[in-house]
Every structure is written in structure tokens, then in C-alpha cells.
Amino acid sequence: MSYTALARKWRPKKFSELTGQEHVRRALVNALESGRVHHAFLFTGTRGVGKTTIARILAKCLNCETGVRAEPCGVCASCLEIDAGRFPDLIEVDAASRTKVDDTRELLDNVQYAPTRGRYKVYLVDEVHMLSAHSFNALLKTLEEPPPHVKFLLATTDPQKLPATVLSRCLQFNLKRLPAADIAARLKLILEEEEVAFDAAGLKLVAQAADGSMRDALSLLDQLIAFGGGRAGEAEARAMLGTISRDHVLRIAQLLAEADGAALVSCARSLEEFAPDYAQVLDELAALLVRVGLRQAVSDYEGDELYAPELLERLARALSPEDVQLFYQTAIIGRRDLPLAPDPRTGFEMTLLRMIAFRPAGEWLTSRPGAADPAARAGGSITAADASPGSAASAAAAGGTSGAAGAAGRGEGAGTTGSSGGDSWAAIVNALELSGAARQLASHCVLVGRQGPVVRLALDARNQPVRTPAQEEKLAQALSRYFGEPVRLEFQVLSAGAETPALLARRVSEQELAAARRAFDAEPGVQGLRERFGATVLPDTVRPVK
């Protein structure tokens, strides 16, 4: 029982059947239709993108019995013999096995003779970069001025190894890697014609694994059909390719959104039973984050076969755009660094922990129950429960804000209101959905007043570089959401003595540190060590316990 591999059975026989490579197809079709066909063509590109296929189609176009045309008839004797590989005037040469100069000279001795059957004698030299330097020298003159009945079609995966003298004598076409979507569409068409059951998600996985090569995709598809017992499903594709279920990748993304380090490590360790390729897991996580980022930036992005729109929408709401960018960058850098880790699993776990460790501070981190409020530590109001025991500065901070900042919020003229509901500026900053540079800008300001849609802020002169149009726009949008109406910002220089949320947080932190050092010095055990052993306390090693 003979079986023809899908890569051979479904090899395109006409330009219209090609997938991708539109730039090459268009140039060749126009040349054939206008009768301006060059005598030497060089097709370059990675494996399996169609170099030899295009060369054979071009040979059929030149020798079709119906005449030189852009679409060969496919039924005449010449077309059928070229498809079968037995046309006498199509001389296919594997340069990898015929590298010697004697082989090239023997080949060129027959160039002068007219074609036996066809209109042109076509020399198709595959992997031409494997020829020796002497072989190239022997080929140069014939390649530049061949007889009118000869065409040279050269193909290579490594054009950098070709001499410049050869490149200058050829029309060069660089074939591109095929997009995964185009490969998946071609695989779907083939399976429908072959009447093989399949899952669209399984075809997407095969197309991604092919890495731009249609031939690799068809070989993997053959393997998948055999592995799945005549079916090309998603579960079978993941098992064959060694990839984990996308449910695990979604779970990791959800735990990243919750910043739950313990659950994240537990989930990462549970993958070990599948013996995954951790680099591939990071690839899939990065691919998911790309889709989430597209969902956030493009409102009508609908996802693909792997991830439904509702899943992407849920993650897009759970993650901030800054989060998505940070996690994506960390994932691809972590993938690069996996070989340097003690072992792939610990490298993978550390990459996930790095994502939440470097997460930007912002109000959205406090959305999960029990989460600490980093915004409060960065300059917002601090509650008595958060402050360290016995700290007078913490108790003062729990009251709302300092006198200077409160005065800035209340000292307006007629018709000017301070803040919504009497909140201090520090409390407002704490409530804003801001992170990064925009939050720094807000933390280094004091609210001067608000009159209608105008919010006047005083900015610390030392932090003027933080004020950029982009950060002003982010702050204005956040304040508009806070006040429930559009606002416009006006800035002035902060007067001496006024205290911004950032300065308040710094003062509170310094007072807490001083209180902790005093409490440490007062400890009986510390005093005993000093008296008995002459011990000395290093002040920089004492830190308040949060």
C-alpha cells in the first residue's frame, strides 16, 4: 500500500496555488506575460518556503506546449513530465553532492546543445551555495551569457556564501517565512479535501511549530494525523509537540494579575508532571500577553482559535497596560536566560516571581483582599493599623495629611473648592488609578485649588522633569474619573514649606526609622550586650517592622 506524503501530494503546481510569496509570484507572472524573462533567477529563503516549487512552476510555464504563459495548462505532456520529475530538458542538480569543478564542467558541456523536447533547457541548481570556488568560476561566463535556449534557476538557503559575481548576474528573489495564519488556512483546506477531522486550535499549534515553513507544517500534519489515529485535534497536537494545555497558561496569567506569589509557584511546580519545555511555556505566555495587549489597544480585536475574545477581555480588565508590557518583557528575557539557570524549572519559577516583584506600584494592586497598599507607602494617607506601634509620626499620618498639605487643599479663594468630599490631596492621589511616572508627578504636587473644570496644582521645582505632556494627560484623565467630570490642569511652582505626598511619605518613613532605632536601643538585651561586651549598634542595620 503506497502513500504519498502530504508535502509531496499538495505541492503547488501553478502560481495560483501558492500560499504567500505574493511579491515573487507577481514579478514572475508579469515577466512571463510581457515576454521579458531573464536568463538567470536566484531564489533565497529558509527551508520549506517554496524555492524549488516556484522554480518548477516557472520551468512548466516556459515549456508548456500551449506556449509561454503565466499559468501552465497542467495537462500537456511537458507539464505532466515536469510534475513527475522525468522531463529531459529540466536538469535538476543537487549542488551539495556535486561540488567539484569537474562536475560543473561536465554539466556545462551540454549547455550548447538545443533542448530535446521543450522550448528551453532549464538548469535548476538546488543549494547552489555548496559549490566550490572553482565551480563558481567555471559557471560565471555561461551564467552571464548563456545560449538563448537556456535558463538558470538557482536556489539557496544561504545567499551570503555566494560570490558577488554570481549575485550580480541573477535576478534575486528573497522568499519570506510564511505567517502562521496563512499556514493554518492552507492546512485547513488540505484536511477538508482529505476529509480528516480536525480542530482549528490544533492547526494553529502546528502552524506555529512550523516556524514559517510550509513543508515543515505538512510534515508535522502528517505526523499529527498518524499520532491522533486519523484526527488532527488540539489535545493530540499538544501531546505530540510537547506543549502544555492552554488552561495552564491562562491560570498563570490570572495568578499574575492577582500578584499571588505562593499560588503562582504552586502552579508552576504542578507543571512538572507534564515534563514541559519551559522555554516553550514562556513563549506561550508571551504570546497570550501579546493578545491581551492587542485587546487593550484595539477595541475590536477578536482573538483567534487559541483564545476566545471573552478570555482576552477578562485578562485585559484584570491587567493594566503597564503590567502587560512588563510581563511580556520579563517573559522573553527569562526565556533567553533559561540556559543560565541552575535548572529550567527554577529559572521558570524565578521568571514568574520577577514579574510580580517588579510590578509597578499602583491602586490596582490593592484590589485583591488582604493586599498591602503600596500607594500608601509611596505618599498616600497611612492608617494607624499600617503604622508601626508607638510611632507618633504614623499616628499623625493616620489623621489624613500634614498641616501644610491641608492648608494647600483649603486655602482657596471664593468659588473654589478644595477636593471632593473634603479629601486631602494625598488621599486623592492614593485613590487615583495611576502608576509609574504619572503617579510620581501627582505625588510631587500639592492641590492649590479647583474651580469648575480647572484643577490648579503646585509642582515641586526639583521634580519638573517628571512633568511631560503624556504624564499630564494621564493625570488629567485619572482626575476626571475621580471627580466624575472632565478637568483641565494648571501648574505653578510649589512654594517653600508646602508638603507634597512624596515629602510626607519620606518624613513619615524617617520618623518611623528614628522611632525604631530608639526602641532598639532601649531593649534590655541590647543594653546588656553593650555593658558586658562593649557591643556597638550599627544604625544602618535597624529597620522598622511593617
b/e code 416-440 from CB counts within 10 Å (16+ = b)? eebbeeebbbbbbbbbbebbebbbb
* 530 assigned to some structural domain: no
Q: Give dist(CA 279, CA 285) in Å, integer.
A: 10
Residues 353 and 440 both lie in one domain: no
Q: Which of 241, 236, 337, 239 is nearest to 282 (CA)?
A: 337
pLDDT given at position 419: 40
Residues 286 and 310 both lie in one domain: yes
Domain span at 297: 246-359
Residues 10 and 153 both lie in one domain: yes
Sign of CA dihedral 223, 227, 230, 235: negative
pLDDT given at position 153: 93
Confidence of residue 42 (pLDDT cuts 50, 70, 90): very high
Residues 17 and 165 both lie in one domain: yes
pLDDT digit string, tens, across residues 370-407: 343 433 333 333 232 333 333 333 333 333 333 333 33
Residues 119 and 233 both lie in one domain: no
Residues 20 and 168 both lie in one domain: yes
* 392 assigned to some structural domain: no
* 516 assigned to some structural domain: no
Into how many domains does the chain fold?
Answer: 4
* 521 assigned to some structural domain: no
* 209 assigned to some structural domain: yes
Q: Which of 302, 334, 359 is the last residue of a domain?
A: 359
Task: Judge contact between 267 and 319, C-beta under 8 A.
Answer: no
b/e code 384-405 from CB counts within 10 Å (16+ = b)? eeebbeebebbebbeebbbebb
CATH code, domain carrying 418: 3.30.300.150
Q: How far apart are the first and last CA of the chain?
A: 75
* 485 assigned to some structural domain: yes
Q: Which of 507, 497, 435, 423 is nearest to 460 (CA)?
A: 497
pLDDT given at position 154: 93
pLDDT given at position 546: 61
DSSP classification of residue 445: E
Helix (H) or strand (E) holding 456: strand 454-459
More confident residue, 162 or 423: 162
pLDDT given at position 405: 37
- Please, what is the angle between helix 321-337 and helix 344-357, to 10°? 150
pLDDT digit string, tens, across residues 441-498: 898 899 888 888 899 999 887 778 888 888 888 899 889 888 888 888 999 888 777 7
* 253 assigned to some structural domain: yes
Helix (H) or strand (E) holding 431: helix 425-431
Collapsing DSSP to helix, strand or coil, 362 comes out as strand
CATH code, domain carrying 44: 3.40.50.300
Backbone angles phi, psi at 384, to 5 degrees: -65, -30
Residues 109 and 217 both lie in one domain: no
Q: Please state the rounded mean pLDDT for residues 411-437.
A: 63
Q: Give percent of the chain with pLDDT exceeding 90.
A: 22
Residues 154 and 229 both lie in one domain: no
Q: Which of 343, 359, 375 is the last residue of a domain?
A: 359
CATH code, domain carrying 313: 1.20.272.10
CATH code, domain carrying 200: 1.10.8.60
* 428 assigned to some structural domain: yes
pLDDT given at position 382: 29
Residues 59 and 199 both lie in one domain: no
Residues 29 and 147 both lie in one domain: yes
Q: Which of 241, 270, 286 is the last residue of a domain?
A: 241
Residue 495 cell numbers, joined? 512654594
Residues 12 and 144 both lie in one domain: yes
Residues 259 and 335 both lie in one domain: yes
